[in-house]
Chain A
């Protein structure tokens, strides 16, 4: 019977061939490490957020007079409301953690190199959408941190040339963040996940066209590919098990570690909390904003600090695949860059003093300097490694990568 139904569908819709082509038989490099789990995990977290968000929206009231109390209602009165909310708030942090690891893996192994630039750029678009969604969601509890975070971030748009003040009023729908701002943020917070899902589809179509990168950084010969199912369904689900253990450890035992205590005070437009901090996932960018003494300059620097990753395919001039795996200088740069981001995160977290401002400025220089110097360093490293003589294994990889690219051009 089931076979008959499937046959009926296959006659009208490419169900079996689609599953075979894109899932069960989808050729995947056999040497993927666990660092390649995080795209799958991001997809799972997205589904968790959509699901918990849908059920939270059934109890939440996007009205300045009721929003704060409706969160308390969810936490105290709604059956398992606390679970839904803690899953959603922890999920936001988990989403960024998973995405940042996913990006770090791409940077380390040079996975952004041709022909995967569009993977990298659609991913960059997804990061921006995720940031916007998280920012708008953070206003909804209508606590002090929500209110003042939204005030500071919408104020950034004052840096718009000529019409800055009007843009800010337009975004808020009021002269200060208020009821209208809250209601539209809720509407957009509900809309954006659907844009994210659309962008994920594009990201996956691009992926299935160029196929997965791998720790050696190139398309492997056909004999070195294995079907996605069962080999990587098993590996992905094992990783998912580990991830869910960590996630629920936070949800059940430390849910407040990702929430700000000041957000338990209802929003008050007349009093700013002494110390405003953004969520941890925005801290490095916030530190860059604060490091520039000029307001417009700070906003531009912060915007650039997110966008600049898109230039990686052009900035990295090395011919050697595998990124940090076969390139010692690039590997050192990568770790220094990660360290620099952690320093920026710390500087963004502490209240500004003359000392942390200097540290923040130095770290901001190193941040942008890494990108500016990369073309020269990667070129020089490439020259040095070729002169010193590369192991035959890597030379073979370079040759096979050139072959793959030539083959792709003909396809």
Chain B
């Protein structure tokens, strides 16, 4: 029991007010978690996160675009000359060795989304050009000219057979 003269002591009340505020705030944050989380990709989308691609019908020098997680994936069957040219340089704005970007030199697999604003670059000559803001990439997907800040991303993928890849699993 509080003593009579404790009525002048506001310390206890101030303390209780602070504790209540903190607990209410923490509760509000905790309550927001399900709402915020509900806006992230659903289990259905996550279940469709892998794409299997048969490479045997892509001719040498040809490119196929497949969808993975709703994004375009460029699969380029590179010619020996193109491989040689790409291995000879380290790219432009973000130097990276060609061998670090491929599993087998004749197959380049990159996410076909410009690292600037997310447009899909077009295959033009050797490499790609993004029509939205004029970025250029080489046949290894490395950025040669801005405004794109990064090389085209390499998705996680692995060869499940000689001519088959599974995109989404490293």
Contact = CB atoms under 8 A, between A and B. Distances in A.
| Chains A and B are bound partners | yes
Contacts of B42: 173, 180
Interface string B86-124: 000000000000000000000000001100111111100
From DSSP, what is the main secondary structure of chain B's interface residues?
loop
Nearest to B38: A173
B56 interface: no
Contacts of A9: none
B41 interface: yes
Chain A interface, DSSP helix/strand/loop, else mixed: loop
B105 to A, nearest CB: 26
B170 interface: no
Nearest to A290: B133
Contacts, number: 82
Contacts of A274: 131
Given A269-B67, A272-B131, A169 B116 contact: no
A290 B118 CA distance: 14
Contact of A270 (B67, B116, B130): B67
A295 B40 contact: no
A271 interface: yes
A246 interface: no
Interface residues of B, number: 30
Interface stretch (A26-34, A148-156, A333-341): A148-156
Nearest to B119: A272
- Listed residue (A154, A175, A272) with the most chain B CB atoms within 10 angstroms of its CB: A272
A271 B131 CA distance: 11
A152 B65 CA distance: 20
Interface string B140-170: 0000001111000000000000000000000
Interface string B33-74: 000100111100100000000000000000001010111100
How large, as a class, is the contact surface on chain A?
20 to 34
B131 A275 contact: yes
A411 to B, nearest CB: 33
A173 B37 CA distance: 10
A257 interface: no
A294 interface: yes
A170 interface: yes
Given A174-B45, A295-B147, A152 B118 contact: yes
A329 B70 CA distance: 54
Interface string A257-286: 000000000000111111110000000000
Interface string A145-189: 000100110111000000000000111011111101000100000
A58 B42 CA distance: 27
Nearest to A275: B131
A352 B40 CA distance: 34
A174 B131 contact: no
B132 A293 contact: no
Given A293-B146, A298-B147, A180 B132 contact: no
A295 B132 contact: no
A270 B41 contact: no
A351 B119 CA distance: 14
Contacts of A170: 36, 39-40
22 contacts: A151-B117, A152-B132, A154-B118, A155-B117, A156-B117, A169-B41, A173-B41, A174-B70, A175-B41, A175-B69, A175-B71, A176-B113, A180-B42, A184-B39, A270-B65, A272-B119, A272-B132, A276-B131, A276-B132, A290-B147, A294-B147, A351-B131
Given A173-B45, A184-B39, 4 more contacts: A152-B119, A155-B117, A173-B42, A175-B71
Interface of B: 36, 39-42, 45, 65, 67, 69-72, 112-113, 116-122, 130-134, 146-149
